[in-house]
A and B are shown apart, each in its own frame.
Chain A
Amino acid sequence: MQIKRRNFFKLAAVGAGSVVISPRPTRAERKKAGDSFACLVDTSRCIGCRKCEQACNEINNLPEPARRFDDLTVFDSARRPDARRFTVVNRYHSGRIDDAGLLVADYVKIQCMHCLDPSCASACVTGALSKHDNGAVHYDVSKCIGCRYCMMACPFEIPAYEYHNPLTPRVMKCNFCEEQFTRQHKAPACATICPTEAITFGKRTTLLQLAKKRLAKYPARYEQHIYGEHEAGGTAWLYLARVPFKKLGFLTLPSNPLPRLSELIQHSLFSYLWSPALLFALLGGIMYRNRAKNDSGEGHKQSGGVS
Chain B
Amino acid sequence: MRQIHLQILMLMVLTCTYTTWVYAATTGEQWVAPAQEKALRRAQAVVPMVKEVKQEGAIRRSQRLHALGVSVRDVKDSYFVLNSPFIKAVEDHYGAVRFNHGQHAAESGDCTICHHLRAKTATPAKNGDKPLETQRCSACHQQAFNPDYPERLGLKAAFHQRCIPCHEQRHKGPQTCRGCHLNNVPDHKKLVKLPDNADALQVTAECLRCHETAANDLQHSAHWLWRGPSTHTQDHENSVRHGKGTTALNNY
Interface residues of A (CB under 8 A from B): 45, 47, 49, 186-187, 191-197, 200-203, 206-207, 209-210, 213
Q: Are A196 and B161 in contact (CB under 8 A)?
A: yes
Q: Are B164 and A47 in contact (CB under 8 A)?
A: yes
Decide: A194 near B145, CB < 8 A? Known: A47-B164, A206-B150, A207-B150: no
- Residues of B with C-beta under 8 A to A202: 145, 147, 150
A202-B147, A203-B147, A210-B151 are known contacts; what are 17 more A-B pairs with Cβ within 8 Å? Answer: A47-B160, A187-B145, A191-B145, A192-B144, A193-B91, A195-B156, A195-B160, A197-B144, A197-B153, A197-B154, A197-B161, A200-B145, A200-B150, A201-B144, A202-B150, A206-B150, A207-B150
Q: Is the interface of B mostly helix, strand, loop or mixed?
A: loop
CA distance A203 to B146 in the complex (A): 11
Please pick, from A45, A191, A203, A206, the residue contacting B161 in the complex, using a CB distance under 8 A.
Answer: A45
Interface residues of B (CB under 8 A from A): 90-91, 144-145, 147, 150-151, 153-154, 156-157, 160-161, 164, 177
B85: min CB distance to chain A, Å:
15
- Residues of B with C-beta under 8 A to A201: 144-145
CA distance A197 to B161 in the complex (A): 9
Q: Are B157 and A194 in contact (CB under 8 A)?
A: yes
- Residues of A with C-beta under 8 A to B150: 200, 202, 206-207, 209-210
CA distance A202 to B150 in the complex (A): 8
- Residues of A with C-beta under 8 A to B147: 202-203, 206
CA distance A202 to B143 in the complex (A): 13
Q: Are B157 and A195 in contact (CB under 8 A)?
A: yes
- Residues of B with C-beta under 8 A to A213: 151
- Residues of B with C-beta under 8 A to A191: 144-145
CA distance A283 to B120 in the complex (A): 79
CA distance A224 to B151 in the complex (A): 18
